[in-house]
Amino acid sequence: MAGAQTHRLDKGGLIDRSASLNFRFDGKTFSGFQGDTLASALIANGVKLVGRSFKYHRPRGILTSGSEEPNALVELRTGARREPNTKATTAELYEGLEAASQNRWPSLRHDVMSVNQLFAPIFVAGFYYKTFMWPAKFWEAIYEPAIRRAAGLGRAAGVADPDHYDKAWAHCDVLIAGSGPAGLAAALAAGRSGARVILCEEDFTLGGRLLSDGGTIDGLPVAEWLSRTLAELAAMPDVRIMTRTTLFGVYDGGTYGAIERVNDHLPSPPEHQVRQRLWRIVARRCVVAAGALERPIVFAGNDTPGVMMASAMRTYIARYAAAPAKRIALFTNNEDGWRTVEAALGAGLQIAAVIDARPDVSAAYRSLASKGGFPVLHGSVSGVEGGKDGVRKIAVSLTGGARAEVEADGLAVSGGWNPAVGLTSYHRGRPKWRDDIAAFVPDGAPPGMVAAGAANGDFGLGACLSQGFAAGAAAAHDAGHNGKAGTAPVADDEAFSLTPLWHVAGKGKAFVDYQHDVTASDIELAQREGFESVEHLKRYTTLGMATDQGKTSNVAGLAIMAAVSGRSIPETGTTIYRPPYVPVAIGAFAGHHRDETFHATRLTPSHHWAAEQGAVFVDTGLWKRAQWYPRAGEKDWLESVTREVKAVRGGVGFCDVSTLGKIDVHGRDAGAFLDRVYINTFSNLAVGKARYGLMLREDGIVYDDGTTSRLAEDHYFLTTTTAKAGLVMQHLEFCRQVLFPELDVQLTSVSDQWAQFSIAGPKTRDLLKEIVDPAEDLSNEGFPFMGAREVALRGGIKARLFRISFSGEMAFEISVPARFGDAMARNLMLAGAPFGVTPYGTEALGVMRVEKGHVAGPELNGTTTAADLGLGKMMSTKKDYIGRVMAGREALVAPDRQVVVGIKPTDKARRLRSGAHIIPKGQIPGPGNDQGYVTSVCFSPTLDQWIGLGLVERGRERIGEVVHAHDPLRGEDYDVELCNPVFYDPDGGRQRG
């Protein structure tokens, strides 16, 4: 049973007291209300200790009430949904929520690793750099395992994320970041002007600081103005308001990244819903009304649980009716901190003292102090007494040197406000320093973006409203909308005076970066060691490099560096700001692109038929291709593949080769065009004939190969390899449009339009006669080798028939419109049954091409020339073509190049493996005598042994030489013989027969 909410205020707050929620933290049950965050619920239950720090395992409490939180990181949920480093300050409470603290062992209250504090000297600035210089053996054996256990944040779930993530696009005229006074005013103005507006708010409730700070707008209490404004915006059809959505990045051309936490506030997403959605928003204009972040003051013990940002304390009291402490002290250097005193007094809490670093305090606050019965001490906090149970006593050094002590269980701190300059600085904008607020403000925002209100350094409520309104109206106008915006909401500006104070010297650790445990003395040490540039400081100390990206620490760190190096803060400068503004799960970037939907899948026209046959499929690029067709009783793939090869060589088989790229080339200059992109000539190819072609890159290296047929005087049909289908189309379009615009030629990709089958084997003609209209002459005279023409099939369908052979057998390739591909496969099986037709997959295809010595992907590997492939004679000397000049370079025609050659083990029983290196016989293998490698291998049923192709230095001059195959990867060494790469039917009689 959950205990009482000891620190819940009796009244107030934007929580639903009728909706009680039970949750567990570190195994203990608590209760909170709908509208709570995990942080506010823990506070309402009097929990102060929520985690241990990264390096020193110091007890840590809740510092802020937003996404800038450096301390209160928890593991949220359990099992596969366990999510480390979740900020308790933004995690919405739900029934049954389970969270656990991080960085502690065995328990949060008794953490043995807190002894790290005793070894603090080894964890100082530059720790990683210095540690890496220790002897390697030490590092691997002792330090790394120990450090990995001791340091680090939460634990990943370790299993696949069961949830779905989505990616979506949105378009608008005006994008607004933030729903505080400036953001809402901007939305009003832009919406009334008629612009399409998207407003993103990372919180689950709209209003920003209005929800915590109160005030009066247009003469109405803030809550009333807020509900009136939200109603007006809701009534505008072109205004879209997205809560739980953080704008995290700005990209070129007005593209923005946003992460919507669609269902993070539930234990698990409802069925068919996503957990998070990554938005890419295209906006003509963007108003950044992301507000400002209150900054801490660095003093000894400033990380004691119970020390909290003053504005956060105000938020917990006013918005969540949860008291972070019952007797509160305030340490401030500015007027704004005092508003927390007002809020606390209003909620009936006690104020122990106000420690104000400024020389003077306004009369109004003086009288507040005397009414509230608490002292105003001019000075600063020099130390905090307390520990894991929170603050007990605060040491104050008074202006003039005297000391004082204040007893309190909570310390609110306000060091001033830093405008959220992230979004405006992501295009390398360097924010500029403003003395009156002692803070950086945006300068040089990306095109189309403007900051308004607190994000622009103007903190007053009145200024936020008027600036936001003006920015919204201007943005709408720039986007072409000139409707009547009406008048801006009006409010008074609060007083804001500040005396900069960054660091109070004192004994004990004073933290700058809470999450990475970077102290003031680390920065001083870095400066002494010469790391004065802010970029070096950041990397040397890891300041600002944790998951919070230094939102609460960077400016204080710069200020301390400025002080110790004797420069001003603007002279010291800022580091470069980079997205994302908040951590974004990789799963959200991946969206649905994971597992089987990682990429699109392309199925061949005969895929479903092949699946019915029990084919085993292989992924080739996006394609699924039938690799082989196992039959009952076959013990492994090799047995199936061997059967398929023998069936083709002895009878007839067919294979779906639709994955080849197919391009129709039309036009009067089609032949001239092909002459310029292939090394050989196509303009002289007779109509009705096919020719093998090879194309180079402009640098002289082989790009792709394939057969091209001339179907008419002005019509060629070109095929590419499967892998290069898209790239060759792109390359040919480049040649056509950019290089040779004078040629009358058009290219059409028809890869998906034709289903193409290879039919091979001595009985091919017998099978084809059953398919093709009997009027078509398929005899050797009527349809000779390398013939190509349109034919009619029985039943009238037109097909393209090509007498080309990859297998070395008598073979045809037949193309039918893709919609007939499935029927064609079934028909081939039926018509071929009397001839024992056998479907074969890509493995058998590969075996037959190696037996025949045809080059393929492993040989066309981006380093080989036409001559390397044994195709040098194809290079025309009578014309210019892509790659011709560069192919003639000295190194590309050198006689000692590695060229394609056949390879077979001298021991016929030996298995040959691709990747094995070729070394001269009798030499010890090494880089100096590496003469090439085995590129393709197969078990040849025809030769009854393993054979292969390889790229070997001067290979063609060394036929018959026995060399050494060295395979260090598999630990194999054996002798192989270099041989003619055409193992099967070298004179080609079979394919011509």
Residues that bind another protein (CB under 8 A): 169, 251-255, 280, 282, 427, 447, 698-699, 726, 729-730, 733-734, 737-742, 879-880, 885-886, 888-889
Which lies closer to another protein via its Cβ, residue 187 or residue 250?
A: 250
Only one residue has tokens 């078990």, namely 939
CB of 953 to another protein, least distance (A): 25
Dist. CA 444–CA 915, nearest whole Å: 55
Residue 185 or 729 having the CB closest to another protein: 729
Q: How far is the CB of 169 from another protein (least distance, A)?
A: 8
Nearer to another protein, 96 or 888 (CB): 888
Distance, CA of 394 to CA of 410 (rounded, Å): 9
DSSP labels, 305-317 = TTEEEHHHHHHHH
CB of 197 to another protein, least distance (A): 20
What are the structure tokens assigned to 105, written together?
């062992």
We find the least distance from the C-beta atom of residue 886 to another protein, in angstroms, to be 6
Number of H helices, E strands in the chain: 26, 49
**Smallest distance from the beta carbon of 596 to another protein, in angstroms?**
21
Which residue do the tokens 């949830």 mark? Answer: 163
Which tokens in the block code for residue 213?
């700070």
Single out the residue of 898, 819, 798, 804 nearest to residue 858, CA to CA.
Answer: 898
Is the CB of 361 or the CB of 674 nearer to another protein?
674
Between 433 and 740, CB nearer to another protein = 740
Nearer to another protein, 125 or 479 (CB): 479
Q: How far is the CB of 673 from another protein (least distance, A)?
A: 13
What does the block give as tokens for 732? 């040919």
Residue 101 parent element (H or E): strand 97-101
Closest CB 700 distance from another protein, rounded Å: 9
Residues in the chain: 993
Q: For the chain, first and last CA: distance in Å?
A: 89
The contacts of residue 598 (CB under 8 Å, 6+ apart) are none
Question: What's the farthest any 2 CA atoms get from each other in the chain?
Answer: 116
Kindly state the smallest distance separating residue 946's Cβ from another protein, in Å: 40
Q: How far is the CB of 168 from another protein (least distance, A)?
A: 13
CB of 577 to another protein, least distance (A): 17
**C-alpha angle 650-653-659 in degrees, rounded to nearest 5:** 140
Question: Measured from the CB atom, is 726 or 925 closer to another protein?
Answer: 726
When the beta carbons of 698 and 961 are compared against another protein, the nearer one is: 698
Pull the structure tokens for residue 197: 């507006």
- Of residues 280 and 715, the one with the C-beta less far from another protein: 280
Closest CA relative to residue 433, chosen from 446, 423, 447, 419: 419
Side-chain half-sphere of 340: how many Cα atoms within 13 Å? 33
Nearest-approach distance from CB 274 to another protein, in angstroms = 21
In the complex with another protein, the residue whose CB is nearer, 729 or 810, is 729
Return the number of the residue (107 or 737) whose C-beta is nearest another protein: 737
- Closer by beta carbon to another protein, 28 or else 889: 889
- Measured from the CB atom, the residue of 638 and 886 that comes closer to another protein is 886
CB 509 within 8 A of CB 519: yes
Residue number, 312 or 735, with CB nearest to another protein: 735
- Least separation in angstroms between residue 741's CB and another protein is 4
Nearest distance from C-beta of residue 314 to another protein, angstroms: 41
Torsion, CA 53, CA 56, CA 57, CA 61, rounded to 10:
-40
- Indicate left, alpha or beta for 126 from its phi (over 0: left) and psi (-120 to 50: alpha): left
The least distance separating another protein from the CB of residue 889, rounded to whole angstroms, comes to: 7
Residue closer to another protein (CB basis): 326 or 427: 427
Question: Which residues, in sequence order, are CB contacts of 15 under 8 Å at separation 6+?
Answer: 32, 33, 34, 35, 36, 40, 320, 321
- To another protein, the closest distance from the beta carbon of 644 in angstroms equals 36
Per the CB < 8 A criterion, the answer to whether 324 and 410 are in contact is yes
Q: Please give the angle made by the CA atoms of 615, 616 and 621, to the nearest 5 degrees.
A: 115
Of the candidates 67, 971, 950, the one whose C-alpha atom is nearest the C-alpha of residue 583 is 67
Residue 743: name the closest of 751, 733, 755, 753 by CA: 733
- Distance in Å, CB of 878 to another protein, minimum: 11
- The pair of three-digit structure tokens given for residue 812, joined into one six-digit string: 């045809």
Q: Is the preceding omega at residue 580 within 30 degrees of 0, hence cis? A: yes
**Rg (alpha carbons) of the chain, rounded to whole number:** 38
Cα–Cα distance, 656 to 605 (Å, whole number): 8
Residue 282 beta carbon to another protein: minimum distance, rounded to whole angstroms:
7
Smallest gap from Cβ 498 to another protein, in A, equals 35
Please say which residue, 684 or 748, places its beta carbon nearer to another protein: 748
Contact 799, 791 (CB under 8 A): yes
Residue with tokens 């077979």: 904
Cβ-based nearer residue to another protein, 442 or 462: 442
**Distance (Å, rounded) from C-alpha 947 to C-alpha 904?**
5
Considering the complex, state which of residue 478 and residue 766 has its C-beta at the smaller distance from another protein: 478
Chain-centre distance of CA 303, in angstroms?
34
Rounded to whole angstroms, the Cα distance separating 70 from 88 reads: 10
CB neighbour class for 581 (10 Å; exposed up to 12, middle 13-18, buried from 19):
buried
Close Cβ partners of 199 (under 8 Å, ≥ 6 residues apart): 175, 176, 178, 179, 183, 184, 187, 233, 239, 240, 241, 242
Q: Round to whole Å and give the CA distance between 288 and 239.
A: 16
